[in-house]
């Protein structure tokens, strides 16, 4: 069935996104771990907002710093152009 905003019968429920780093305390945010950081950037290299990844504010702050460090060390791109 199609999801129509006006129709209360066909309301869809979304799974609440949780912060990956709060769930697993052993998971460290590290600029050297580019494979993991790539989950939090777009194909163009931009940092994904919290509302999309579900990261909590504390870990998002840490992520931002580590992504920027990885960029300085040319481990991640600043931009990806065609």
Partner 1 sequence: MDLYEIMFIQNPDLGEEDQEKLLTRFKAAVSKNGGEIIKLEDQGIKTLAFKIQKRSRGRYFLIYLEGPGSMVSELERFMRIDENIVRFVIIKLDSHITKEELMPKAAPEEQPTAEDKAEEVGE
Q: Note the residues at the interface with partner 1 (CB under 8 A).
A: 31-32, 69, 71-78
For residue 77, the minimal CB distance to partner 1 (Å) is: 4
For residue 55, the minimal CB distance to partner 1 (Å) is: 20
Q: What does the block give as tokens for 48?
A: 């994904």
Cα separation of 59 and 32, whole Å? 16
For residue 21, the minimal CB distance to partner 1 (Å) is: 15
Residue 82: HSE in the Cβ half-sphere, 13 Å Cα cutoff: 0
């Amino acid at each position: 069935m199609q999801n129509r905003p006006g129709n209360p019968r066909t309301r869809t429920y979304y799974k609440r996104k949780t912060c990956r780093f709060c769930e697993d305390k052993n998971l460290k945010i590290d600029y050297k771990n580019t494979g993991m950081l790539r989950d939090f950037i777009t194909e163009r290299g931009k940092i994904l907002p919290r509302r999309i990844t579900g990261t909590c504010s504390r870990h998002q702050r840490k992520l931002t710093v580590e992504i920027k460090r990885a960029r300085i060390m040319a481990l991640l791109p600043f931009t990806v152009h065609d």
